[in-house]
Amino acid sequence: MNRLDQVVEYKNFKYADRTHEARLSFESLMAGESPTSNSESGGGYKPDMCFNDYFTGDVADLKEGRYVTYVTEYRGRKTTTKTTVVGKDADNWCVEEWTEGDKSYGLLMCVAADGKVVKAYAAAKGDKKWTEIKVNGSLFPDFPKPKMTVTDDTKEVKAGKFACKKVTVNPGRTFETYSWFSSEVWKLRDKYEYGGLVAIEWPEDKSKMWLEAKGEDGRATIEVKKK
């Protein structure tokens, strides 16, 4: 999936203190980098940096074992991202995120109480251990809040059927988007006042993202030594 195309589609999607633009801009930056050569899987891709505001979830919802899996479909191509809370490192939460798509890789973030990433690791698909990577400053500035409407709705996705708040962003405009949020979904990947993300649809580009699965029995894919 072309992350730069996603950034274009998401550029007007901003109505919380954390943004899809930030996440997708970061992923597009990573997708443009050269594959690393120190992967144990034989040179597979993995990022060499992370931004300190890359974690866009709610620290209050972090609990060991919780996970959410989202699937994004864009022009017939799918990307799957699984976010799992795998424990704590001192006072910081350890959040593992694996992406499967055009590029498959993992990130392990140590998230402080204020939601900032203070340490990060990366792995290519097939790696047996994490590689510590640098953490840079904020990824993206805030955007103006777009016009939107909020209504009660029900949304059924692969993970189940949820009572939701449906948010229509930029109603009547070219980049109109529909999003569904529910208090029944943990905010591990995105943080919004209406609850965790259930689904997003971009009718203009025939793209969508949905909650594929969630649970409380998630485990670390690659172990890391904790302090």
Work out how many domains the chain is built from and give that number.
2
| 123 and 169 fall within a common domain | no
| 56 and 128 fall within a common domain | yes
| pLDDT tens by residue, 93-147 | 999 999 998 889 999 999 999 999 999 999 999 999 999 999 998 876 666 777 8
| 23 and 112 fall within a common domain | yes
| pLDDT tens by residue, 174-218 | 678 899 999 999 999 888 899 999 999 988 878 899 999 999 999
- Asked if residues 222 and 127 have their Cβ atoms less than 8 Å apart, the reply is yes
| 113 and 72 fall within a common domain | yes
186 closest CA partner among 222, 218, 219: 218
Confidence of residue 227 (pLDDT cuts 50, 70, 90): low
Domain-located, residue 142: no
* Residue labelled with tokens 């993206």: 140
Measure the CA–CA gap between 67 and 61, rounded to whole angstroms.
11
Domain-located, residue 109: yes
Find the domain containing 187 and state its range.
Answer: 148-215
Per-residue tokens: 77: 């191509």
| pLDDT tens by residue, 30-77 | 343 433 334 444 447 899 999 999 999 999 999 999 999 999 998 788
Length of the chain: 227
| 13 and 56 fall within a common domain | yes
Instruction: Count the helices and strands in the chain (H runs, E runs).
Output: 2, 12
